[in-house]
Structure 1
Amino acid sequence: MSNNTGNTLLALLTGAAIGAGIGILFAPDKGSKTRGKIKDGYDDAKNDLKNKFDNASLELKDKLTIAKFDLEETYEELVSNMSHKTEDVISFLEEKLAELKRQNAKLQK
């Protein structure tokens, strides 16, 4: 969920909660009924928020698991590529060393 969507959703829920609270407070019910309605509304909002938090946590956990797998795969590819490059460098240096030995042998004669 993007940051803007989250902010919009939070603003919408906050506005709905405030509107519901004001509506309940101005309703012509007994105080005990009004308090019960407020408590029920609070409980509903709390449960809804908890569910959204749990869903967001699961989604984040899934994304982190995928990212970890991708990072491990990229690391393995990098190590493999570096190993091949190291072999290439060693081969190049061995060839140059052999060439230098041949040139040195010519100079020693």
Structure 2
Amino acid sequence: MASSTGKTLIALASGAAIGAVLGILFAPDKGEKTRQKIKDGYKDLEKDMKSKLANAKVDLEESYENMLSSMSYKTEDAITFLEKKLADLKEKNAKLHKN
């Protein structure tokens, strides 16, 4: 998930940079208007990146919680298995002591 988010952020930043350069080169507006458009584009990019980073953080937290939950179930399974084996060993040991 993290790799996909990183690639998305790189693509987004690259696209914004290319768009800004092309906008400057082909802008029919005055310099002041062009600078304002670039500034607005930067603000939009910043907002989008913050949103994506926040979503990535939520995804990472959810993945972590899911992993912990899964590990907890597996730990319980292992403990149950070991308890059964211990009970079997105690039973066999008790039979040996009776003889």
TM-score (norm 2): 0.82
1:8 and 1:70, CA in 2 relative to 1: closer, same or farther beyond 3 A? closer
**Offset of residue 84 of structure 1:** 1.3
Choose 87-96 or 14-23, whichever is displaced more. 14-23
Q: How many residues align?
A: 98
Bigger relative contact order, structure 1 or 2 (CA pairs below 8 A, ≥6 apart): 2
How far does the alpha carbon of each residue in 1:52-100 deviate from its partner, in whole angstroms, 9 at most, with x for none?
Answer: 111111112112111111111111121122111111111111111222x
Q: Give 2:18's aligned residue.
A: 19
Please give the alpha-carbon distance, in whole angstroms, between the structure 2 residues aligned to 1:67 and 1:25: 48
1:62 and 1:11, CA in 2 relative to 1: closer, same or farther beyond 3 A? closer
1:2 and 1:75, CA in 2 relative to 1: closer, same or farther beyond 3 A? same
TM-score (norm 1): 0.76
The SS at the match of 2:28 is coil
Seq. identity, %: 29
Please give the alpha-carbon distance, in whole angstroms, between the structure 1 residues aligned to 2:13 and 2:24: 16
